[in-house]
Structure 1
Amino acid sequence: MFKSIIVNFLGIFNSRILGFIRDLLSASVLGANIYSDIFFVAFKFPNLFRRIFAEGAFAQSFLPSFAKAKYKPRFTWLVFKKLFIIILIFSLFVTLFSNLVTNILASGFSEEAKKLASPLIALNFWYLDLIFIVTFLASLLQYKKHFATTAFSTALLNISLIIALLLSMNLPKEQIIWYLSFGVIIGGIAQVIVHLIAARKYKVLKLLYIGAKSKKEADISTFKKHFLPSILGNSTAQISAFIDTWLATFLISGSISYLYYANRLFQLPFALFAIATSTVLFPKITKNLNDGREKEAFESMKKVFWVLFYLLITATVVAIISSKEIIRLLFEHGAFTAKDTEFTSVVLIMYMIGLIPYGLNKLFSSYLYATHKHLKAAKISAISLLVNIVFSVALIFPLKVYGLALASSIGGMVLFILTLKEFGFSEFVKFFEKKYIFYMILVILISIILAIVFKQLILFII
């Protein structure tokens, strides 16, 4: 299991490094202004669905149903066909009514900005169709214990966007955001291609082909019952960031960009540690629980919990103490000013407060899905999201853009507490032993020392 986690970690790490190169170029070329805001809004909607689909929601509803399906080829084909048709219709709607969608997504934009954003929103949305194909094939590859293709292929999107920025960096900003939007689509096509190659190698395409030709009946009602609750249950952090972006359209120009760059840094440890571990852990505990090996499933969770907890503590402490220096080192170039650094660094601190609860929740929510408690997980997520919205509206007036990020962290805390309640506080307490608590204190102290050294090192480099 830990070998697969390391493969996932390396793939995601590779992608995130390229992502930071992309963001560094983006900050330097576009800065934090109305043009960067327009692109981030245009990409936010399909990227929201990409994160929901690709970071667990689809696999956690599909794999348990797939494992129990009597005739897997037909079941697989029916699920793919029905969902792809729905997404295709959705994409056509966004394209045909892009002005309406823009008015909803960017309510606070001026009419001129909305006019610029409308066609870009329509173009970027087609990325969702491509990433659904990727996610579907990735879930089947996960079932066959192949994680490498999905983990490393996410880098292709970043490579495509980096090339788009390099090709357009000397052009007017209005043209640059068009290059970036086409880069999104090309990156999505590249991800589909590498997954098709892997799917052929592991006989996933053969499975789909047999299912498409078969006339046998297959029951997908269990999948449909679990799918929407799984989507909602996995999407709190993503919908929270989306709501932040929407509310930020009413704030000063650049606010969306501050949220975007800070959230990108938040997503680094979240993806590297929480998503990498839960993606590998979920199929394992699902099989253990289905086979009646509950003790083995809990032992796996306990081991992963402490490793994940230590990593999240370290990331949180380092990021909070060194927030301004990290932003300055990564983004303060070209059009990205010292003022932008000040704003973004505080937003980052507000987001990082929620890293531990969001990260650990990813682990414990996997248990809920493995035990078919999709609806319960969805209710918990809905409550957390409601809390987030209430605090976002309450804090946006006194704290502006900082309040939006802080509200997201508060929502994450509520999410984690409610998930633990459903998992069982008594079971959770069993995870704690004296040696682990000692190590936790040691990790905190080492993290503080690392953060101070890291901060001084960045100051020396700058």
Structure 2
Amino acid sequence: MKKNVAIVMVITIFSKFFGFFREVALSYYYGAGPVTDAYLTAMVIPGVLFTLVGTGLSTTFIPIFNKIMTKEGEKEANVFTSNIINIVLVFATIIVLLVMLFTKPVIMLFAPGFIKSPESLSLAIQFTRISIFGVYFSGIIYIFNSFLQTKNSFLIPAMLGIPMNFVTIISYVIASKTSDNILAYGIVISMVLQVLILIPAAIKLHFKYTFKLDFKDKYIRQMLFLAIPVFIGSSVNQLNTIVDKNMASRLQTGTISALNYSNKLNGFIQGLFVMPIATVMYPTISKMAIDKNEKGLKNTINKSVILISLFVIPATIGAMLLSKPIVDLLFLRGEFTQAASLMTSKALFYYSIGMLFFALSMIFGRVFYSYNDTKTPMVIGIIGVVINIVLNILLIGPLGIGGLALATSLSSAASTSILILRLRKKIPSFGFKEVLGKMIKITLASLIMGAEVYLSFNYFNSFMSQNLSAILSIATGGIVYLGIILVIGIDEVKDVIEMAKARIGKK
């Protein structure tokens, strides 16, 4: 597992930095205005619609595929995969037709505030009617990503973001000089490219396509039984996105864009450190659950939680302390104004509060899925959304965009806490006290690092530029944090160092 995590993390670093450059490029060419708001809304619509199905697919595919491989062999597993692909394409066609027929009502559901901005509404309609065709390809991407992971092939899924982001950035450049519609075409083309990369990789790992369209297949029924709670839970999570976008559209122009940029910054940390661990962990614990290897499963979960905490807790402290300098450093250029920076940094500060809870929910949710328990995360997800909606209403007045971000963080904290309590009942000997002890040590080290970052930033900023001050204070803070962690002694740090040495040694 350590080797796979190292590989995925290295590739993810390149992919996420490229993805971040994509956000910088969007802010440079379009800033936080009506075109960006329309574009981001058009991106969210197909994303939300198919993520509902895609999350259910990717979550339930792995345990079912492993079961078929064990009981019936590779041929039947390939037939099962082919059947899912065909069923997904049928559902994608239905989604495309519905959105094409009811584009305006769908957009008004996501961004009712666009009724006051005819330009944003008109652009969002144009963009959505182009980008919605991406659902065909996003469905196939979900399936083949999961297929490759069952084969312990994590390299291709991890690197998919690189060509996708490259195409998207090119579309920003071309669109800024020609037609804004190129933005939407860029979304679809980037998805096509991902599929063209995944298909040969799947074939190399012995995937053979068979035409089969059987909705009554026993494994499809099993998958559907497991996927329905995941689908509902995912729908509930996507409802969070809809509610946030809905309420953001009622605030000043550019709020949707600012919320997106801050969310991407938060997601950058999750994607960089959490997803590689969660991606590699899930197939591993899924097999352990099938083999009833409870000891190995607990050890894997505990190591994953500590590894994630080592990265996410200091990142949380740093993002909260330097939210404005970080946003200025990354985005303040081109069409991205000081007003946009203030909105984005405010949202980033409040999103950062929930960063660790977002990460832990990703890990613990997969533990339930590995036990074929998809109902518990669904119920807890519904509770989280209700909390988020209530807090949105309460906090948007006094805090504006910050209220939306804080509501998301607090609801995530609440739902993750419930998830942990339920997990302790499922695995009584989980050993959470040991994990909590290490997390407290990491938090103390992070707070000391935070004090150093705060003091060094103010010192550097007294005689040099803000951007350089931010870079230097982050660098010195990282050195201080690493030193403290090595002194207090956390075993998982050795794993990180070994992974780094292994990758450097190969180069």
Q: TM-score, normalised by structure 1?
A: 0.91
- In the alignment, which residue of structure 2 is the partner of 1:311? 311
Question: What is the letter of the counterpart of residue 184 of structure 1?
Answer: I
Misfit runs of 4+, over 4 Å: 49-54, 234-239, 433-437, 450-458
- In the alignment, which residue of structure 2 is the partner of 1:342? 342
Alpha-carbon offset, residue 238 of structure 1: 5.0
Residue 202 of structure 1, aligned match among 205, 208, 213? 205
Deviations 1:40-95 (A, max 9, x none): 111112233566666x6432211112222344233222222222211221112112
Partners of 1:253 and 1:158 lie apart in 2 by 26
- In the alignment, which residue of structure 1 is the partner of 2:93? 88
Residue 137 of structure 1, aligned match among 136, 144, 150? 144
Contact preservation (8 Å) 1:237, 1:412: no
Matches within 5 A, 1:251-270: 251-270=251-270
Question: What is the letter of the counterpart of residue 147 of structure 2?
Answer: L
Q: What's the RMSD between the two structures over aligned residues?
A: 2.5
> Per the alignment, do residues 58 and 12 of structure 1 end up closer, same or farther by CA in structure 2, a change over 3 Å counting?
farther
Q: Which moved more, 1:30-39 or 1:43-52?
A: 43-52
Alpha-carbon offset, residue 234 of structure 1: 5.1
Alpha-carbon offset, residue 436 of structure 1: 6.1
- Identical aligned pairs, as a percentage? 26
Matches within 5 A, 1:117-156: 117-156=124-163
Q: Which moved more, 1:229-238 or 1:127-136?
A: 229-238
Any idea what SS the aligned residue of 2:167 has?
helix
- In the alignment, which residue of structure 2 is the partner of 1:414? 414
Contact preservation (8 Å) 2:63, 2:370: yes
- In the alignment, which residue of structure 2 is the partner of 1:287? 287
Any idea what SS the aligned residue of 2:113 has?
coil
Partners of 2:407 and 2:467 lie apart in 1 by 34
> Per the alignment, do residues 434 and 43 of structure 1 end up closer, same or farther by CA in structure 2, a change over 3 Å counting?
closer
Contact preservation (8 Å) 1:160, 1:183: yes
Partners of 2:159 and 2:52 lie apart in 1 by 18
Q: Tell me, which stretches of 5 or more residues in structure 2 are unaligned?
A: 470-507
Alpha-carbon offset, residue 283 of structure 1: 0.7
Contact preservation (8 Å) 1:313, 1:443: yes
Q: Which moved more, 1:16-25 or 1:350-359?
A: 16-25
Deviations 1:220-262 (A, max 9, x none): 2110011132234456665423421121111110110110110
Partners of 1:245 and 1:86 lie apart in 2 by 25
Question: What is the letter of the counterpart of residue 334 of structure 2?
Answer: G
Deviations 1:273-307 (A, max 9, x none): 22221111011011011101111110111111111
Deviations 1:310-354 (A, max 9, x none): 211011011111110111111111211112111110110111111
- In the alignment, which residue of structure 2 is the partner of 1:76? 81
- In the alignment, which residue of structure 1 is the partner of 2:482? none
The count of aligned residue pairs is 454
Question: What is the letter of the counterpart of residue 353 of structure 1?
Answer: I
> Per the alignment, do residues 353 and 143 of structure 1 end up closer, same or farther by CA in structure 2, a change over 3 Å counting?
same
> Per the alignment, do residues 253 and 443 of structure 1 end up closer, same or farther by CA in structure 2, a change over 3 Å counting?
closer
Any idea what SS the aligned residue of 1:424 has?
helix
Partners of 1:406 and 1:236 lie apart in 2 by 18
- In the alignment, which residue of structure 1 is the partner of 2:165? 158
Partners of 2:50 and 2:11 lie apart in 1 by 17
Question: What is the letter of the counterpart of residue 388 of structure 2?
Answer: N
Partners of 2:66 and 2:20 lie apart in 1 by 38
The answer as to 2:102 corresponding to 1:97 is yes
Question: What is the letter of the counterpart of residue 120 of structure 2?
Answer: A
- In the alignment, which residue of structure 1 is the partner of 2:386? 386
Q: Tell me, which stretches of 5 or more residues in structure 1 are unaligned?
A: none
- In the alignment, which residue of structure 1 is the partner of 2:60? 61
Partners of 2:130 and 2:123 lie apart in 1 by 12
Deviations 1:417-455 (A, max 9, x none): 111011017635343375664454234423543565578
Partners of 2:275 and 2:442 lie apart in 1 by 23
> Per the alignment, do residues 297 and 450 of structure 1 end up closer, same or farther by CA in structure 2, a change over 3 Å counting?
farther
- In the alignment, which residue of structure 2 is the partner of 1:29? 29
- In the alignment, which residue of structure 1 is the partner of 2:186? 183
Question: What is the letter of the counterpart of residue 37 of structure 1?
Answer: D
Question: What is the letter of the counterpart of residue 94 of structure 2?
Answer: I
